[in-house]
Every structure is written in structure tokens, then in C-alpha cells.
Amino acid sequence: MRIITKILHDTRVAQALIRHAPKAVLPFAMRRRSRQKITLDTGEEVGLVLDRGTVMRNGDLLVADDGKFIVVQAAEESILRVTAKTPIQLTRAAYHLGNRHVLLEVGPGYLQLEHDPVLIDMLLRLGEVSVQTIQHPFEPDAGAYGGGHKHGHDTTFDNDYALAQAAYAVHEHDTGHRHEPVHHHDHSHANESMHDHPSTHGHTPDRAAHKS
């Protein structure tokens, strides 16, 4: 069995090299899994061992251990397409879906997401929003940091926190406005006393009392 350990994103390769390359036709649920066995359109089964967190996009090239290419192709799958009568209503739909951390593809005048009956009901309750089930490749946005929602206990949170603090610093320098530092902590409340702050309600010394 051939093993794939390398992926090329947005790489221009001579068509002659990939014209007859086999294809890995995969739905998004499989394109976001970095360790698995997949079956190519030729019927060959190969092993996938990519860096964890790797997402395969339509047109990416996989490189097998024999140096040959495999082309990633997003499979058509059953997804929801959301449209609305006005841009404001579509924005509201995106807002409510974002609050639920839904994987979302944003297109010109539409949103696309994985099929979910509960979300269909929520969207229809917004009013002036239409939801249609279609067969189409699904390519959701990667998000601001290239991943999904993060919590304070995630290993990548510190990187995002540092980025946010840097943004605050730039804003403070450009505007001259002072911002209080943003404090972050984990979700555990076992040591709540650690978050207590000393009282700031002291009295300013009376300077007159110090005059001789």
C-alpha cells in the first residue's frame, strides 16, 4: 500500500505531470481527516498520514511515497444552501450560524453548510430566509486563524491570545488611547480566589496633614 505524507496547496504543476494522475474524490468530512485509508478513483487503496489539522481542498496535490501525484477532488454531497430576500436577513442568518460554530461556506448571495434538520428549523424561524438541500461540493471557510472555535484550554489558544494582545498594542499606539490588558484564564473555577482583586477604594493622603 502506498502511503501519502505530503500535500501541496495552491501549487502550480505542469499539467503533463498530473494529467493522468489518479483522483481522491472525497466529501469534506473525509478531507478534514489527516489519518485514514482512502480509495482512489482507480480503485487503489492508499494510506493517508498528514500533519494533524490538515484540511484537503479541491485541487490540492497529494504526494505518495513513490513520488507520484494524486489529485484531491471535492465530492458532491448533500448540503444546505441558504438564501434570503435581503442582505440584512442573510447577514442575520450568518450571525446565528456563527454563534453555533457551524462550518460555513460564504458565497455571493448565499451560505452553505452541512445538512442539519435543527438548523433548518432555526433558519426558517428567522423569516425571509430560504433553505434548499442541494448536491454540491462543500468548501467551508477556514476561519480567522485557519481553524475552528478555540477555548482557553486549547494548546493553540496562547498563540491567538498573543495575536490579540499585539492588535491591542497597535491600536493603542495609533490612537493614543489606553486599554486595560485582557486577562484570560481556563474554565476551571476551583481556584476562584485567585481571581479576586484587592480593593482599590483607598483614601488619598491629605497633603495638608504633612505640612509642618
Buried b (16+ CB within 10 A) or exposed e, 193-212: eeeeeeeeeeeeeeeeeeee
pTM higher than the cut 0.85: no
Tell me what pLDDT residue 176 has. Answer: 52
Q: Which CATH superfamily is domain 77-136 in?
A: UreE, C-terminal domain (3.30.70.790)
Q: Which amino acid makes up residue 170?
A: V
Residue ranges of the chain that CATH labels 3.30.70.790: 77-136
Class of domain 3-74: mainly beta
Cα–Cα distances in angstroms (integers) from residue 29 to residues 66, 106, 131, in the given order? 27, 18, 21
Profile the chain (212 residues) by mean pLDDT over runs of 10 residues. 94 84 96 96 97 94 94 97 96 94 94 95 94 96 50 41 48 46 42 42 44 42
Q: What is the largest CA-CA distance in the chain?
A: 98
Residue ranges of the chain that CATH labels 2.60.260.20: 3-74
Please name the residue ranges forming H helices in 80-210. 87-99, 117-125, 157-175
CA distance 182 to 172: 13
